Amino acid sequence: MRPLPDLTAQHRRLAELGVPVPHLPPGLVGDLLVVHPRLVPVADLVPLLRRGDRPGFVVEDLTDLAEFGPAPGVEVPDTDLYAVHAPERGDEHADRSPDEVDPQIRARGRDLMTAAEGVAWVLQQPEVLERNHCFMTTGSRRPRAGGPGLDARVPALWISNGTGRDGRDRKDAPKLGWCWAGNRHTWLGIASVAGRSTA
């Protein structure tokens, strides 16, 4: 996979796509530029994703995407723009569940990737989504409705087959959907980052 463009080029691409990005913070270093969801909701960025001529979409039953915030222990900088270091798709975690893998990712000194970070990655590097090599973003979780704990869903990015409610017109399009935290999928890794920075 090719290296990511530098942050200046990533910032320029976001602006060209019509994303209302503020000026790039001076001295910001990292590999991937991320727009905080408070500035631009994740659902507004997903349609900007492309795979060939197919725009991205959010699955119909993820209407509460905006309620997914940082998972417990995930610290997202409180700033409109920040940088992620060394994103990894987590192919080695395919066919294992988030419940199994998330503690191991953290034990390695890495952190869980959020949905906003995953979308930012695919936006800058569309080829990061490949057939049978897509990924979950377990750094975004939703509090369980009406009780303690977490909603059992985790957001994930993959490629639509154009079946079911997706519709034929969306075949091969980038898709933000969800999976159960306790389920395993042979075609989904569990993405992580080495860190985040604001300058």
Give the C-alpha separation, 7 to 20, whole Å. Answer: 16
pLDDT higher than threshold 90 for residue 162? no
Q: Please, what is the end-to-end C-alpha distance for the chain in angstroms?
A: 26
Give the C-alpha separation, 129 to 156, whole Å. Answer: 11
Which residue spans within 12-68 are E strands per DSSP? 32-35, 50-51, 54-55, 57-58
Handedness of CA 179, 181, 187, 190 (dihedral sign): positive
Per-residue pLDDT tens digits for 60-110 = 999 999 999 999 999 999 999 999 999 999 999 999 999 999 999 999 999
Per-residue pLDDT tens digits for 6-15 = 999 999 999 9
Structure tokens at 41: 């909701």
